[in-house]
A and B are shown apart, each in its own frame.
Chain A
Amino acid sequence: MRTRITTVVAVLLLLLAGCSSGGRAHGGTVTLRFQSLAWQQESVAANKQLVKEWNATHPNVRVEYVQGSWDSVHDQLLTSFEGGEAPDIIHDASDDLADFAYGGYLADLTHLLPPGLRARIPGRSWDTATFEGRIYGVPFLQEPRVLIANATWLRAAHVRIPTPQHPWSWPEFRRITKKLSGHGRYGVAWPLKEPVSATLNLALSTGGRLFHRGADGKVNVRFTAADAVVPRTVHDQVALDHSTPAATLGSGGSDTLPGFFAGKYAMVPLGFSYRQQIVQQAPKGFRWEVLPAPAGADGLTQGVSPQTLSIATDCPHKKEAAAFLDFLLRPKNMVRLALGDWMLPTGTDALADPALHTGANGWATGTALAASLRPAPAQSVRGYPEWKDKVATPALQEYYSGAIGLAGLRDRLQKDGNLVLARYQR
């Protein structure tokens, strides 16, 4: 028996020894770890191919591709930063950067990036990753919210088809969705599982700002008439017009697609990248098209939080990492990444690429909206995540479901919201 136990322990120790990572020999070569959140087949392939091309042409700076996950990136990065083991090059979204930037975990890229790369991306995109005047990420992909529409249904109903040049106004959108509804069918299905960013980003079109920064730099929530247009439209579509089903308010975008394909809804407001799922899943012969979201007093303007690439403060080879970013985000490469992710590139040259102006799968409509994209209103507001989770999400859900009125919504967003934000601004 003793021999048997000794054998088990010995095997176990050997097993554990075999498991150990050991050290990696660098042999004088700089190795950079690039954690990418690309997840769609074409996107992962594009990223890996670009890393391969870099490694083939830069023998002294080797980039190692590491797959990350959108689902848990914030917690994973936070722990890695705290433990000093973060990846060198970090893929994330601009609305997730504020905490890391203020926490000193991300390198200031302001003077690190080559001027060519700075010039290729417009200022409004840089604004999404700029905190206290310093750049902490390179915004490279973004997606507007668009209306994915059942083309056959809309043509049969003889409604005016909007274009980026002549979009629907919000009242016109409401009239048309009402006209399209009836007999168990709905003009639009709003998937508002995450109601805050959708509402706030679209409200920019009507001049909504919600967050107002004072002369002292402190942010205050004010829910004005301009902020109310979009939420009131959705509320009235649910409660008064019955042109959108209440059931989809708690759904994610993917959940509404089966009903859309089955002809229950004429339109679904979704992110631009959802087109990939529609191409994959739409039944044969199903005709769909991409329409711009409705416009308000400020036209088609809407907020976005672009995907970003950052460099960790602890990265010992920041210049090399910046050179890799410059390579990865060259116009041709940015186009490859954008096509892989079914999103829009931020770079002006990349946006001009003919591959993104084809009528197929709504690419041209999307690129026509690029100039109207602005930083999401809450981009740099400290305390926004808590305000979103504890105040705005339940308040908007209650308003859309009819549990509270507009006055109640205003009261909650302002009164409760300002109490939350005040804690972050003392």
Chain B
Amino acid sequence: MRNHRTPRTATTPSPAGRTAARAGQYAALLAYLVFLAFPFLWLLSTAFKTPRELGSLHPAWIPRHPTLGNFRQAFDEQPLLHAALNSLLVALGAAVVAVLLATPMAYVMARHRGPLARAATGWVVISQAFPFVLVIIPLFLVLKNLRLIDSLAGLVLVYVVWSLPFALWMLVGYVRAVPVELEEAAAVDGAGRLRTLVSVTAPLLAPGLAATALFAFVTAWNEFFFALVLLKTPEHQTLPVVLTHFIGAEGVADLGPLAAAASLATLPSLLVFALIQRRITSGLLTGAVKS
């Protein structure tokens, strides 16, 4: 008698095979996470090491004699808290202004496709290619005439201009992902353009707005060269500029305090990421799917 049971094919793995595949996936994910986390963990480890341990040929992951001395020295030598506050003000200011300006622009570029919108998109892409050194001296002179040298407001302005093209580019994708039928329905219900943008489109854009704001925040938080050149007085210096004070001639560094200060400098970014992580994830997915 013939056996009518369907034979197991190569495309339907056994439960054991599925478990092994899943374990492999988790192992790969873990390896990737370790790879991503390595610099930060090493930075943290360095921050707690004594100078003698830092000079060892075989450095250990876990400091043998953990010390807070590097943190103490870093805070004693440099105004880290004040610099962090400056960075926070500048980064928040840049993020908020960039999003406020980019949102209506992105809406227009996404909804009104034509030669002008295409030219604007092209310009946005090209403007990303300008090197810092090309713009720094004209920018310096313009800000000087506006009396915005050595002011955090001037720096915010620079960061907004710097991050706006990419923010715009990001947001155009998110706006296109919002079904235009929803706006048409709102129009049928009698809502004007502004009302539609504010009440219908903006809430759906929230994840995209969060992602864009985070991009602008991180860009401003990490930026060094403009801050170095545009800020003169120590009271206005931002964290990346203050961190370089632990580096001497020919690249010699006071490694322990530098690592301590740098590890503290990463915290605000991590915190902001943690707070809006869910929105970011859904925002990225939203931007990736075509309606």
Contacts and interface: CB of A to CB of B under 8 A. Distances in A.
Do these two chains interact?
yes
Interface of A: 1-2, 5, 8-9, 12, 15-21, 33, 37, 39-41, 44, 64-67, 69-72, 75-76, 79-80, 82-85, 87, 93, 193-194, 252-254, 257-259, 261-262, 264, 271, 273-274, 277, 280-284
Interface string B44-56: 0000000110111
Contact of A194 (B90, B96, B233, B250): B250
B144 A20 contact: no
8 contacts: A21-B150, A39-B254, A44-B77, A72-B224, A72-B244, A75-B229, A80-B232, A85-B150
Given A16-B156, A79-B229, A264-B57, A69 B251 contact: no
Contacts of A33: 232
A72 to B, nearest CB: 6
Contacts, number: 145
A267 B227 CA distance: 41
A16 B247 contact: no
Interface string B228-266: 110011101100011011111111111100000000000
B251 to A, nearest CB: 5
B149 interface: yes
Contact of B252 (A20, A44, A252): A252
Given A12-B97, A17-B153, A19-B156, A85 B246 contact: no
A253 B249 CA distance: 11
A20 B152 contact: yes
Nearest to B224: A72
B206 interface: no
Contacts of B249: 37, 70, 93
Given A19-B151, A66-B233, A280-B55, 12 more contacts: A1-B199, A12-B93, A12-B97, A69-B244, A70-B247, A70-B249, A72-B224, A79-B137, A83-B137, A85-B140, A259-B57, A280-B51
A40 B140 contact: no
Top 4 nearest A-B pairs (CB, nearest first) are: A281-B55, A19-B152, A262-B57, A69-B244
B140 to A, nearest CB: 4
A69 B241 contact: yes
Contacts of A274: 252
A392 B268 CA distance: 43
Contacts of B89: 15, 18-19
A261 B237 CA distance: 37
Nearest to A18: B89
B276 interface: no
Nearest to A254: B252
Contact of B229 (A8, A76, A262): A76
B198 interface: yes
A64 B250 CA distance: 26
Contacts of A71: 244, 247, 251
Nearest to B194: A2
Contact of A258 (B55, B90, B152, B199): B55
Contacts of B54: 281
Contacts of A69: 228, 241, 244-245, 247
B93 A19 contact: yes
Contacts of A284: 52
A262 B57 CA distance: 6
A277 B56 contact: no
Contact of B55 (A15, A66, A257): A257
Contacts of B156: 16, 19
A41 B198 contact: no
Contact of B253 (A67, A79, A254): A254
Contacts of B233: 21, 64, 66
Contacts of A12: 93, 96-97, 100
Contacts of B144: 83-85
A17 B151 CA distance: 10
Contact of A40 (B57, B148, B254): B254
A258 B56 contact: yes
A39 B254 CA distance: 9
A20 B153 contact: yes
B141 interface: yes
A83 B140 contact: yes
Given A39-B254, A41-B254, A83-B137, A66 B234 contact: yes
A119 B249 CA distance: 28
A63 B10 CA distance: 80
Nearest to A257: B55
B233 to A, nearest CB: 7
B73 interface: yes
Nearest to A70: B249
A16 B228 contact: no
A33 B232 CA distance: 9
Contact of A85 (B149, B152, B242): B149
